[in-house]
Amino acid sequence: MSSFLDKRFASLEAYVPGEQPKDAKYIKLNTNESPYPPSPAVAEAARAEAEKLNLYCDPDCTLLRREAAALFGVGEENVLAFNGSDEVLEFAFMAYGAKIAFPSISYGFYPVFARLFGSDALKVPLREDMSIDHRDYLSLGRTVVIANPNAPTGLALSPGQIEEIVRSNSGSVVVIDEAYVDFGAESVIPLTKKYDNLLVTRTFSKSHSLAGARLGFGIAGEEIIRDLNTIRNSTNPYNVNRMTQAAGTAAIRDNELYMSRCRAVARTRDRIADELKKAGFELTASKANFLFVRGGGLSGEEIYSGLRKRGVLVRWFSGGAISDRVRVSVGTEEQMDVFLAELKELQNEKK
Ligand SMILES: *Cc1c(COP(=O)(O)O)cnc(C)c1O
């Protein structure tokens, strides 16, 4: 830290992303990316836009927003595009985060944004079984942020439970982060038509094979969208670059392909979960594209470092309340078979 840094940032602890190794020797199951490359039409659309990189991109993301509105079943005035959903979450904390509540175990960026913007943050504990008790969020009278399904547990609330939270906090914004919803939970986007205090965020990083392009969306009633657009235009009106706008538009046109891949990932997830349970591991009932695993006679660190030595990268959150577990992104069938075989060998070595 330099002596010039504003005191407000002196104690900031930045978010630490999962590692991105520079060599290709790992089976990468640590950052919940899609194991599949983008569809040919998406790669082609991005390549064609590369020819025009001398020109600024469309600050209104007109085409992309038109396609996204149709995909999400809302009006164009109800959707905005962002530089990853991290950006819309950042803006939501900036705009509505003075008093905020989120689960004590959830996406690691929430506490970072809370610190960055000096929020009065209430961290609500999970139940013993790692699920969210939606009643903890009723009538809180502060902004609420919940990932549904939650990360890294993969456990989901029902739309009815979320609606109760939204209805009982009508004077505050409720942000539902649907980063993983395409892998098996139910979206509450339809509720944005009924409630003016609901903001739903989406990302194309996981379900649409575009983590490297950075594309997320905010979906809400017109007033919240106007707020977020004001912040966007006060920071970077060109927040979604030209290649990403084209790639995102093409990805929506190929949505059926991506949804069938999500269903395949969900099937693989459930198959591997069954195998892990048979081998003595304990798992949450994940509806996301990852598994949250512990036990089997191994500590979280032993699983993480043992697998790493064997060429499989998983995510281990060291030092906190969940350090006995690892989060394993669901890759292809073949990748997951290697993961399972290596994990079982680790188990046998220990015996
Ligand atoms: C990955 C993730 C995000 C961020 O997605 P980007 O669009 O890549 O910024 C947001 N929320 C949760 C819960 C995530 O896991």
Q: Which of 83, 148, 177, 202 to mutate to test the pocket of ligand 1 (most atoms within 8 A of CB)?
A: 177
**CATH number at 40-254:** 3.40.640.10
Give the distance (Å) from ligand 1 centre to CA of residue 73: 22
- Does the CB atom of residue 175 touch ligand 1 within 6 A? no
Residue nearest to atom 1 of ligand 1 (CA): 179
pLDDT of residue 197: 98
Given pLDDT bands bounded at 50, 70 and 90, which one contains residue 200? very high
Given pLDDT bands bounded at 50, 70 and 90, which one contains residue 19? confident
pLDDT of residue 293: 98
CA 119 vs CA 8, 123, 194: distances in Å = 12, 11, 28
- Does the CB atom of residue 119 touch ligand 1 within 6 A? no
Atom of ligand 1 nearest to the CA of 205: 8
Atom of ligand 1 nearest to the CA of 82: 7
For CATH 3.40.640.10, list the domain ranges present in the chain.
Answer: 40-254
Report the alpha-carbon distance of residue 293 to residue 332 in Å, rounded. Answer: 18
Asked whether the predicted pLDDT for residue 18 surpasses 90, the reply is: no
**Mean local confidence (pLDDT), 90-95:** 98
- Does the CB atom of residue 85 touch ligand 1 within 6 A? yes
- SS3 string, 155-184, reads CCCCHHHHHHHHHHCCCCCEEEECCCHHHC
Asked whether the predicted pLDDT for residue 253 surpasses 90, the reply is: yes
Buried/exposed code over 89-112 (b: 16+ C-beta within 10 A; e: otherwise): bbbbbbbbbeebbbbebbbebbbb
Global pTM value: 0.97
- Does the CB atom of residue 177 touch ligand 1 within 6 A? yes
- Does the CB atom of residue 86 touch ligand 1 within 6 A? yes
- Does the CB atom of residue 216 touch ligand 1 within 6 A? yes
Question: Per DSSP, what are the bridge partners of residue 316?
Answer: 326
Report the alpha-carbon distance of residue 264 to residue 317 in Å, rounded. Answer: 27
Report the alpha-carbon distance of residue 334 to residue 331 in Å, rounded. Answer: 8
- Does the CB atom of residue 84 touch ligand 1 within 6 A? yes
pLDDT of residue 246: 98
**Mean local confidence (pLDDT), 8-20:** 86
Asked whether the predicted pLDDT for residue 332 surpasses 80, the reply is: yes
pLDDT of residue 21: 83
Given pLDDT bands bounded at 50, 70 and 90, which one contains residue 23? confident
- Does the CB atom of residue 203 touch ligand 1 within 6 A? yes
For CATH 3.90.1150.10, list the domain ranges present in the chain.
Answer: 7-37+256-350
Give the distance (Å) from ligand 1 centre to CA of residue 45: 24
Asked whether the predicted pLDDT for residue 171 surpasses 90, the reply is: yes
Atom of ligand 1 nearest to the CA of 87: 9
Given pLDDT bands bounded at 50, 70 and 90, which one contains residue 20? confident
pLDDT of residue 220: 98
Considering only 13-17, 180-184, 268-272, 333-337, which range has the smallest mean pLDDT?
13-17
Give the distance (Å) from ligand 1 centre to CA of residue 86: 6
Q: What is the pLDDT of residues 42-82, one digit of tens each?
A: 999 999 999 999 999 999 999 999 999 999 999 999 999 99
Q: What is the pLDDT of residues 314-330, one digit of tens each?
A: 999 998 899 999 999 99
Asked whether the predicted pLDDT for residue 341 surpasses 90, the reply is: yes
- Does the CB atom of residue 205 touch ligand 1 within 6 A? yes
- Does the CB atom of residue 107 touch ligand 1 within 6 A? yes
pLDDT of residue 125: 98
Asked whether the predicted pLDDT for residue 10 surpasses 90, the reply is: no
Give the distance (Å) from ligand 1 centre to CA of residue 203: 6
Asked whether the predicted pLDDT for residue 24 surpasses 80, the reply is: no
Interior CA angle at 83 toward 77 and 86, to 5°? 100
**307: nearest Cα among 70, 5, 28, 24:** 28
Give the distance (Å) from ligand 1 centre to CA of residue 200: 13
Q: What is the pLDDT of residues 258-273, one digit of tens each?
A: 999 999 999 999 999 9
**Other CB atoms closer than 10 Å to residue 291's CB: what's the count?**
26
CATH fold group of domain 7-37+256-350: Aspartate Aminotransferase, domain 1 (3.90.1150)
Give the distance (Å) from ligand 1 centre to CA of residue 85: 6
User: Mean pLDDT over all residues of the chain?
Assistant: 96
**Percent of residues, the chain, with pLDDT higher than 70:** 100
Residue nearest to atom 12 of ligand 1 (CA): 179
**Other CB atoms closer than 10 Å to residue 51's CB: what's the count?**
9
Q: Which of 206, 209, 217, 286 to mutate to test the pocket of ligand 1 (most atoms within 8 A of CB)?
A: 206
Atom of ligand 1 nearest to the CA of 216: 7
Asked whether the predicted pLDDT for residue 346 surpasses 80, the reply is: yes
- Does the CB atom of residue 81 touch ligand 1 within 6 A? no
